[in-house]
Amino acid sequence: MHAAPPSLDLKKVLVATGVILTLAMGVRHGFGFWMQPISLANGWSRETYSLAMALQNLLWGAFGPFAGMVADRWGTLRVVLVGAVAYAAGLVWMATVTQPALFVVGSGIFIGLGLACTAFGAVSGIVGRAAPPEKRSWAFGISGAASSFGQFLLMPVEQTLITHVGWQQALFLLAAVVVFLMVPMAFRLREPAVQKTGGQHQSIRAALGEAVGNRSFLLLVAGYFVCGFQLVFIGVHMPAYLKDKGIADPQVAVIALALIGLFNIFGSYWAGKLGGRLPKRYLLSFIYFSRAAVIGLFLLAPLSPLSVYVFAAAMGVLWLSTVPLTNGIIAGVFGLSHMSMLAGVVFLSHQVGSFIGVWLGGYVFDLRGSYDLVWSIAIALSVFAGLANLPIDEQALVRRDLQAA
């Protein structure tokens, strides 16, 4: 895994990973629609469901580096197969378990593992290995656009299913779709055996130590924490926030989340494309500073369906556009041999932020009856992330005692 195998077809890889990411991220982005029906059906506060979503995100991040290690060493196929089964099991668990602790722990483990094995970190390595260096940032952008298309496509589908067949049946149907579509796509990600050409090769432990000791890697980790905090707080709590503020029509939240997905198709694609021409660190800083401005303007403006749609479109452009840039920096600085693992390590930080963002949203609301404090924290963190990304060094590391990765 030290060079892109010539028989690894980029188009085939992008189609397969695109379908997998569409499902993995599309289903996951709709979990906010189940907060109120599940809480009402079981007599729970919002904090219980928020804690379940928070644990899912935390375990997604915790499992991510290990899923990446397996993908780098034994292939993406095996990882995605495990992820599809775990994801489906988690959706069934959410539909059937009514004991709060079991609901939180079980859905957290199953869906956390499922996402770790089917989302960005797990598939980033094979995308990077399939793409030539000059197209790598663009290829990561295509992957990001696919996940955004999933959000755009599946938001209305999920809300429609909940409305017409009930929230439990909707989860059962999504579980079936995940298995029957992800499994065939996984077999399109079979990689040829890696031919090592002699010389020393960097071990997993050495690669991890090198990254953790690298200042630029740590800055990426800090920025990704903020990204996770913001995205999952907004994605999970937006429907409830709008209803609390007097926008009772659930279609407004559906359209808003779908607009985020629609506009992020363009945001992710262009971030990847621009990342091949401009310094990625400056693009990342611009994204985080822009998020602070967009959130601030949204809170200051009179709330209406139109202001919600404008906010959603603006956030959509900035939503997952951090992914191709972050993965591009990792690949450019550290090489491809341990790409999935290192992407998983960075993404762990993202998911710690997600855990805190989604849980804090529910906790603060139950404590104060308002999300205002969490919105303010999101703005402050965005400014911090913008500053943290500016000094990142994008130059490839030179390893004198190792064969280039």
Residue pLDDT, tens place only, 97-118: 999 999 999 999 999 999 999 9
Please compute the mean of the pLDDT values over residues 117-123 and round it to a whole number.
Answer: 85
pLDDT at 405: 41
Please compute the mean of the pLDDT values over residues 21-45 and round it to a whole number.
Answer: 87
pLDDT score of 151 more than 80? no
Residue 200 pLDDT class (50, 70, 90 cuts)? low
pLDDT at 7: 59
Residue 399 pLDDT class (50, 70, 90 cuts)? low
pLDDT at 193: 58
Distance (Å, rounded) from C-alpha 260 to C-alpha 253? 11
Phi and psi at 18, nearest 5°, equal -65, -45
pLDDT at 400: 62
What percentage of the chain exceeds 90 in pLDDT? Answer: 40
How does pLDDT run across 45-64, given as a tens digit for each residue? 877 888 888 888 789 888 98
Please compute the mean of the pLDDT values over residues 200-221 and round it to a whole number.
Answer: 86
Residue 96 pLDDT class (50, 70, 90 cuts)? very high
Q: What is the mean pLDDT of the chain?
A: 87
pLDDT at 404: 41
Distance (Å, rounded) from C-alpha 396 to C-alpha 399? 9
Distance (Å, rounded) from C-alpha 176 to C-alpha 11? 26
How does pLDDT run across 225-241, given as a tens digit for each residue? 999 999 889 988 888 88
pLDDT at 6: 45
Please compute the mean of the pLDDT values over residues 58-75 and round it to a whole number.
Answer: 87
How does pLDDT run across 263-291, given as a tens digit for each residue? 988 888 888 889 888 999 999 999 999 99
pLDDT score of 85 more than 70? yes
Residue 68 pLDDT class (50, 70, 90 cuts)? confident
pLDDT at 178: 95
Which among 290, 304, 297, 305 has a CA at the least distance from the CA of 254? 305
Residues contacting 206, CB < 8 A, separation 6+: none
Instruction: Among 14-23, 135-144, 189-198, 378-387, name the one with the lowest average pLDDT.
Output: 189-198
Q: How far is CA 113 from the centre of its chain?
A: 13
pLDDT score of 5 more than 50? no
Which among 86, 260, 94 has a CA at the least distance from the CA of 162? 94
Give the predicted TM-score (pTM) of the model: 0.77
Of the spans 55-59, 83-87, 365-369, which averages the highest pLDDT? 83-87
Task: Look up the CATH number of domain 10-190+204-389.
Answer: 1.20.1250.20
How does pLDDT run across 305-345, given as a tens digit for each residue? 999 999 999 999 998 889 889 988 998 888 878 888 888 88
Residue 397 pLDDT class (50, 70, 90 cuts)? confident
Q: Is 340 exposed, middle or buried (0-12, 13-18, 19+ CB in 10 A)?
A: buried
Buried b (16+ CB within 10 A) or exposed e, 269-289: bbbbebbbeeebbebbbbbbb
Distance (Å, rounded) from C-alpha 388 to C-alpha 386? 6
What's the DSSP call for residue 199?
S
How does pLDDT run across 206-215, given as a tens digit for each residue? 888 899 899 9
Which among 275, 318, 14, 265 has a CA at the least distance from the CA of 153? 265
